[in-house]
Structure 1
Amino acid sequence: MDLTQKNRENLDYMIEQIKLKLRMASGAAMQASAFSEDNYEDIQDIYEIVMNKNNMSISEVEAIVSELGRLRNRA
């Protein structure tokens, strides 16, 4: 998968992988469709950070979840 291509499929993939890696219990609340392609680069940065860490502290997970919450589309 070429994540340098800015598209909905890649965005959805990255969000799903972040949720899996973080083992988000509230993953259902973090739907990939809630994110805009306008934030693609930010989400890609988060994806790369999450995928490159073997272990994350609770404060790191909280910071990432907080940042994802900030990037979600406002309804």
Structure 2
Amino acid sequence: MDLSVKSKENMVYMVDKISEKLNFINTGIMKASQFDEEKYEELFDIYQLVIKRDRFSPNERQAIAEELGSLRKK
């Protein structure tokens, strides 16, 4: 999978992996369809950050969730 290519499928993959890695309990809250493709680079940056790390503090999880929230369609 080439995540450097902007696509809805890649966004779905990244959102799913971020949710999985951060152990979000209610994954229905964060769906790829809620993100605009114009925010692809920002989502990709968050994805790279999350995938590289093994552990996150509760504060880090909250900050990432808030950042993701700011990327959602308005």
Residue equivalent to 1:27: 27
Which structure 1 segments of 5+ residues have no match?
none
Letter in structure 2 aligned against 1:71: L
Q: Distance in 2 between matches of 1:45 and 1:4?
A: 11
| Residues 1:12 and 2:12 are matched in the alignment | yes
Runs of 4+ in 1 over 4 A off after TM superposition: none
TM-score normalised to the size of structure 2?
Answer: 0.96
Q: Does 1:59 align with 2:59?
A: yes
- Structure 1, residues 22-72: CA drift from partner, whole Å, max 9, x if none? 110121111110001100000000000000001111111000000000111
Q: Over the residues paired in the alignment, what is the CA RMSD in angstroms?
A: 0.6
Corresponding residue for residue 73 of structure 1:
73
In the alignment, which residue of structure 1 is the partner of 2:43? 43
